[in-house]
Structure 1
């Protein structure tokens, strides 16, 4: 009877060992599966981050090139504005001189007209 109980106990323990072994194998499989999934997600996130970073760097470089181009254009336009201001000032001075000369010419023409009229009346 004692041997039968021991045999039964050994049989139960063997069944438990098999049950635990099966359970451990199932958990190991589950861990490996989840680990593979995590690695896939990590790779995908890293790739997305890399793509995002790369596109951000490309946009930054494009904006820097655009900024340099705009700075050059701005400098060119400032130079043209300065030249335009100088030309405008020279034209203003010329106009003032021409206006003065015109006024003198009109005045002289008026005086000559009066002299001519006077000479005509005297003759």
Structure 2
């Protein structure tokens, strides 16, 4: 039985067109990757992405009323004497505008990334950890 090369080409073109159409219709899909010493390695992409992006989260930092227990050293009282010891520190609720949370990653960190431009670029969204930990 002879294989028709034109039929094989037509099947290949149809499959590639269907794959590209599905990708366009479903949008970008986030995937897992690993931060390396020199870049980002996505699980489904064989090449390391050396110049990747990292998400920042601008906003307002809101802290509730908070009490902490800790130690005090290096303070002076009104007479110039040292103040040391344990104490409770009470903080009132506060709000700080125009803050930015920038996440830092270390080599070996598993991350959730959004690949772009056919996997040539990526945005790291967050670090992922085991839910059993």
Pair in the same fold by TM > 0.5: no
Query: TM-score, normalised to structure 2's length?
Result: 0.22
Could you say which structure has the higher helix fraction?
1
Could you say which structure has the higher strand fraction?
2
Q: For the pair shown, which has the larger CA radius of gyration, 1 or 2?
A: 1
Structure with greater contact order relative to length (CA < 8 Å, sep ≥ 6) = 2
Query: TM-score, normalised to structure 1's length?
Result: 0.24
